[in-house]
Amino acid sequence: MTPILFLVLLFASVPIALVLALTALWYIAESGNNVLYDSFAQQMFSGVENYGLLAIPLFILTGELMNEGGMTARLVRAARVFVGGFRGGLAYINLLANMFMAAIIGSAASQIAVMSRAMVPAMTKEGYDPGFAAATTAAGGLLAPVIPPSMLFVIYGVLAQLPIGDLFIAGIIPGLIMAGSFFVVIALIGLKQQFPRGTWMTRPEALRALRNSLPAFLIPLAIVGGILFGIATPTESAAVASLIAFLVGWLIYREISPRDLGALFIRTATNSSLVIFMIAAANVFGWVVIYEELPQKLAGFISTVTSDPFTFLLIVNVCLLFVGMLIDGIAALILVTPILLPIAMNTYDIDPYQFGVVICLNLVLGLLTPPVGVGLYIASAMSGVRPFTIFVALWPFLLAVTLILILLSYFPILSTALI
């Protein structure tokens, strides 16, 4: 009866945190073991009693401060210096700016919203197809969960009890490969559609653009550099980055002031509480899953199908593509990690870092695929382009990500080489 209740609540569009908590309560009631009620609140609290989770509100705050502080526009202008003169230069600028933003925001949905407002009108004005402009911006948002920092990596690290800094490092090579594949996609489409030719900045303009963007580049340096060189933990790096973002926006760019912080803190607290409450509820759900020995039972079934780790990962990828189409990526990650990670590690000896990179990248595809497709609808709302039009233009990017998922599944070294 418990699985039926879970599915009914899920497809009735009940918030996923309530689905997890109510399912766990129903299981306790069905079991007749009332002692388990005493552990319910304790399990919820222990789910968020983790230092690494502090990074989530701090990364969200950094993104908010960047948006309000004028750093996004300056990073876009800096990207124009490097690729603006190529045919289709504005499309490359879009992607390069998304790479810069991915190293700061860490949330695909936030990045798609920010970049859609900045880039789609500019590309349309220069003669690009609006659907392609919105699709390129939405695809660039897929870099956020892979290029560090990544909110999905933070959550996976907490669930899998892995060092979050090492997870960030594991995402560097896959993120660069994915960005490179997107550049190839844009180049191939550009050959067919004959994109507008860009113009290179003059030397003084380029120097001015780079000089103006230097303070904004302190933020990814603080986050990634602090982690890579062991100077700070991801949480400490996020705190430093949020402070730098505020000081740069206030004292250098002068587009934000201390009186704006109240509204920013409220938005950050609201968005963070949704994610953290979901993790708390998921911990109770995971406790029920372990109590019922569901991973062991599922492992027994899958091991009768295949004993090959690569084939197992392909099966997981196909299943998660469908899961990601129906459930938000964070919610899906919270659901599947306690069930699939023990199987991957204990039955197939798959490295947990490789598994984390694969499932995080896989689940974020759901942002851009119907019927849920939150990122698709965000890009549509910000750009004014119909969701179906964006999706039609997206398929080359989605195909590229699918091929990269296969590569990451077959070659674990792509995820573990830098750790």
The pLDDT tens digits for 118-143 are 788 888 887 888 889 899 988 888 88
Predicted confidence at residue 372, as pLDDT, reads 61
Predicted confidence at residue 295, as pLDDT, reads 62
In Å, how far from its chain's centre is CA 246? 23
CA distance 397 to 395: 5
List helix spans (H) across 343-373: 352-364
Residue 87 three-state SS: strand
Residue keyed to tokens 């120097």: 207
CA distance 6 to 288: 13
CA distance 373 to 378: 9
Tell me which of 171-185, 281-295, 304-318 is least confident: 281-295
Q: Report the 3 state secondary structure along 270-301.
A: HHHHHHHHHHHHHHHHHHHHHHCCHHHHHHHH
Q: Is the pLDDT of residue 348 over 80?
A: yes
Residue keyed to tokens 């430093």: 240
> 245 falls in which pLDDT band (50, 70, 90)?
confident
Angle separating helix axes 294-305 and 309-326, nearest 10 degrees: 120
Exposed/middle/buried for 187, CB within 10 Å: 0-12, 13-18, 19+?
A: middle
Q: Report the 3 state secondary structure along 376-399.
A: HHHHHHHHCCCHHHHHHHHHHHHH
Domain boundaries, the chain: 2-29+36-416
What is the share, in percent, of the chain residues with pLDDT greater than 90?
A: 13
> 10 falls in which pLDDT band (50, 70, 90)?
low
Highest mean pLDDT, choosing among 51-60, 62-71, 399-408: 399-408
Angle at 194 between CA 190 and CA 198, to 5 degrees: 85
List helix spans (H) across 161-253: 164-170, 172-193, 203-220, 226-228, 234-247
Q: Name the region of 293 (left: φ>0; alpha: ψ -120 to 50; beta: rest).
A: left
Q: What is the dihedral of CA 44, 45, 49, 55, to 10 degrees?
A: 70
Retrieve residue 112's tokens.
């798609």
CA distance 380 to 375: 8
Length of the chain: 419
Tell me which of 173-182, 386-395, 405-414 is least confident: 386-395
